[in-house]
Structure formats: structure tokens, C-alpha cells
Chains A and B, each alone.
Chain A
């Protein structure tokens, strides 16, 4: 009887002793590297890559001054996105997304990147020109020494005036209603338009800077950045950050993560981020552990794609069985 060269069920743990074929691993790797490099160069030459200029605070303040002022004053009165965000930026009782029930990792870890929105986005940047601007210095002093309730009332009134649309006329009609806030906001707008606020938001007491957390949080609190993203089809409801500007594939591998944001209950849940991250953590763990999950690890036996992959092997094995039956 002939030896079985193509066993129907080879032992996967045993060393293969059946027939072998010639193979040159170095040649294969070299050809693959050259081919992929050429393909990448070709794709780069044909399609290039997107590079839309970043938004600046100066551009925002010049293009949409009302949105800029509404955002800046919301940082003062504590109603902005960052001010109400909670961990890891601000101390807000109860803020932070829950995975299930009242379980929140965000809250458990607390504030690790502390930001005082009024100080970070308005008062500290204004303190720089205040050194050479007595009117601004007086307005800052009045604001900072006023009781918190009064500060809040001034900022809230100014925010309402901005929302009505004609803030200059309203401030002239009732100057006492807004305290020093109109002076502060006018100066902040002027600094922002000049580009000074872009620098002030990243400045610290050190010379070199690489952290844009404050500048990006302030930009994200306004609606200008979002309006530009909407035009580029980058909103969460538009499959969000897996896309990129222009007609490029983006991070297509994030499709499953982004998918959850498109369907209920996540599309309307205030805890969507925490819930989706929990789901993806479980799915990722399952993906890594497939060899150990009964049922899932048996799918390849049920879906006979392996018959296509190893069709040559099974053809030879079948022929071998036929030969041994006839001999």
C-alpha cells in the first residue's frame, strides 16, 4: 500500500512530513516589498493626499464674530461645553458618561487635565494686553473683584444680548446691565482677530509648546469648527471621524466603531461614547480570543471556504484515495 502523502485530516500539531514544494522566502519578501512600494508611489502620484489648512481662532473671530463672542462669554458664565463637560477637564457634579446605570470610568478617574474655562480662555489671555491697556486692566480688576453672582449676571446678560444679534446697540442702551464684560469681550475679539489669542491659548511659562488642548477645546466649544466639518461630511451623523477631508478613504478600518453611532439607541444616547467604547472593548477582546471561544472557532469548519483555499490539496487527497482503492 502506498504511503499517505495528502492525509484527509493532517495533525496540525505535528511536523508536516508530506510532500513539499520549492520556496524562496527572501525572494518572495523582496518582490513583495518592491511591488508594494511601487504601488504606494503610484497611488501617491495619482491621488496625492488631503491637507486642508487648520482653522485659527483669528479666522473664526473674523468670520463669525457673534459665534466667537457667544462662545467666549459662555466660558465666563460657565455654560460652555468645556465648563459643563466634567472629567477629565472640569469639576462638575454628576457630569461624565455612564457605561451602564451609574457606572462611569470617567468620573472614577476624575479631573486629570484641569481647565478653568473663564481663566484659560478669557481672563488669562486678556491679562497680557492689560499690562499696556489701562481701560482693560480696570475692567479686568472690576470683574475679578466682583461677587461670583454678579459676574455670572453680567456674562449671562451679555450672552443674551449677543444672541439677539445687535450687541453694540443693546450695550449702549443698558450699559450697567453688563458691567465690565463688554470691554473684556471687545478686547478679546480684537486680540483674537489679530491672531494674538491663537498664541495666548498655547502659551505657558515655558518657551517651547507642543500642547494644543486649550486652543482646540475653545475652538470646539464654538459652532464654526463644526460648520466647516459638516461641509466636509465629517459629523458624527455622517460617519464622523473615520472619514477625512476630500474624497479619500480615511480610516475605513474604524467602520464598526463608527457604525454604532449611526443606530439607535446610541444615535440618541447621552452616554453613547461610554457605551460604544464598552461594546468595542468586548468585541476586540473576543476578536483576540477567537481560538478559545467555542462556536466561533468552529465557524471555519461550517463555512467551507477552506475548501477553496486548499482546493489543490483536496483534489490530490481525493485522487490519492481513489488510487489506493483501485490498487
Chain B
């Protein structure tokens, strides 16, 4: 018999960790019965709206929304979905904190969520830097002092529009998406933490 392939091993491990009924469940433990549980999926939904509205702005380039009413409207959706995203995520985080949701080998679930929150702050921050308006000028010239004092400013130049745009539309959203994906898979793997 030939040795198992890399593909075969990954498939076997994947099916072992995430059998279909665990990945896409149609039942939940009876204790999952509170409005607080909704804020996780609301955060994910807001993230998708942020990505979608950002993608529409990207179609015509970063300066489009300054000269087009349609572009400005999509920028407004981008702004408000970001505000909703953070609101939902903060409620979700507090909820999980008071559930001590890291119990039962779920510490990594908490860690990925917390890091995702911090990276999301950086993502939104670079968005403010790349608006190409007075807010961007002021926020950039103020923020540079903190970043320079931390040492990060030597390599992460908030006054360099091109660099910040790339971080905002590619690098940081990619990190948030990967962390969010890992976070969700961990929730599916370990299940929802039972009551204290």
C-alpha cells in the first residue's frame, strides 16, 4: 500500500477535527439561549459589510468618493459598518469575559479574538489615515509621535499614504480575516462554553 499523501493526511485531520455536523451544526446545547450570543455573528456580519463597502470604493480608486455622491454614500456605509463592527465586537468581548469563555481548553479562542480586536483597531486607524482629507492630515501628524516613540514609526510611516493604503486594504484586513476564520473554527472545534 502506498504512503498517504499530504492531501490525504490534511483531509483526514480536517474531517477528524471538523466533521460536517460540527462545522455546520443544526443543534446547539440548550444553555445557548441568550441575546448575548447574537453579538458574535453580528460582528462577523458587520465585518463582511465593511469588506463589501470597501471593495466598492476600491473599484474606482481611493479618491473616487470625494467627487461622487455614490462614492460618498459607500464611504458612509464603510464608516457606519465599521462603527457597528466595533460596537458588536466590544459587546461580544465583554459577554465572553463575563462567561469566562476561555474555560475548557478554549484559551486560544479568547486569544485569537483579542488579537483580532487589536488588529482591527490598527485596520480602522489606517482607514482614517487614507481618507485623503483634513482628518487624515491631522490624525497622521498627531499619531506619528506615538508611533515614533514606540519605535514602530521608523518602519510604519503614517505619513506615507501609499504604505498606509496597502496596509489598510490588504495586509491588515487579511490578518483580521485569518484570525476571524481561526477564531470561528476554534469555536466550532471546542463548542460553546457551558455555564459556570
Which A residues form the contact surface with B (CB < 8 A)?
6, 9-16, 18-26, 28-29, 32-33, 35-37, 39-41, 43-45, 47-55, 87-88, 96-97, 105-106, 108-110, 112-113, 210-213, 216-217, 219-220, 225, 228-229, 232, 234, 236, 240-241, 244-245, 248-249, 251-254, 271, 273-274, 276-278, 281, 284, 287-292, 297, 299-301, 303, 305-306, 309-310, 312-314, 316
Chain A positions within 8 Å of B65 at CB level:
51
Do A210 and B33 touch (CB < 8 A)?
no
Q: Decide yes or no: A309 and B153 within 8 Å by CB, A21-B27, A49-B76, A245-B135 being known contacts.
A: no
From A23, A51, A274, A314, B28 is in contact (CB under 8 Å) with A23
Contact of A253 (CB < 8 Å), options: B100, B105, B121, B196: B121
Task: Give the residues in chain B near A276, CB-CB below 8 Å.
Answer: 146
B contact residues around A252 at 8 Å (CB): 83, 86
Binds A, one of B11-19, B40-48, B167-175: B40-48
Q: Are A105 and B151 in contact (CB under 8 A)?
A: yes
Residue of B whose beta carbon sits closest to that of A221: B141
| Main SS at interface, chain A | helix
A11-B194, A300-B196 known, 4 other contacts, Cβ within 8 Å: A21-B33, A23-B27, A23-B28, A232-B134
Q: Which residues of A contact B115 (CB under 8 A)?
A: 288
A196 to chain B, nearest CB (A): 19
Q: Which residues of B contact A316 (CB under 8 A)?
A: 30
Specify which chain B residues have a CB less than 8 angstroms from the CB of A105 in the assembled complex.
Answer: 149-151
Q: Which of A13, A54, A213 contacts B133 (CB 8 A)?
A: A54
B196 touches A106 (CB 8 A): no
B59-80 vs A: 1/0 string, CB under 8 Å?
Answer: 0000001100000110111111
Instruction: Report which of A12, A284, A312 forms a contact with B193, defined as CB distance below 8 A.
Output: A12
B185 at the interface (CB under 8 A from A): no
Contact B103–A32 (Cβ < 8 Å): no
B8: interface (CB < 8 Å): no
A23: chain B residues within 8 A (beta carbon): 25-28, 32
Mask: chain B, 121-139; 1 = CB below 8 Å from A; 0 = not: 1001100100111111111
CB pair B149 A273 closer than 8 Å: yes
- Inter-chain CA distance A108–B149, complex, in Å, is 11
B55 touches A (CB below 8 Å): no
CB distance from B79 to the nearest CB of A (A): 4
Please indicate the chain B residues that have their CB under 8 angstroms from the CB of A303 in the complex.
98
CB distance from A51 to the nearest CB of B (A): 5
User: Measured between C-beta atoms, what is the minimum distance from B71 to chain A in Å?
Assistant: 10
* Contact with A213, one of B29, B150, B157 (Cβ below 8 angstroms): B157
- Chain A residues closer than 8 Å to B26, beta-carbon distance: 22-25
Cβ of B111 within 8 Å of any chain A Cβ, yes or no, is yes
Known: A21-B30, A48-B72, A300-B100. A40 touches B195 (CB 8 A): no
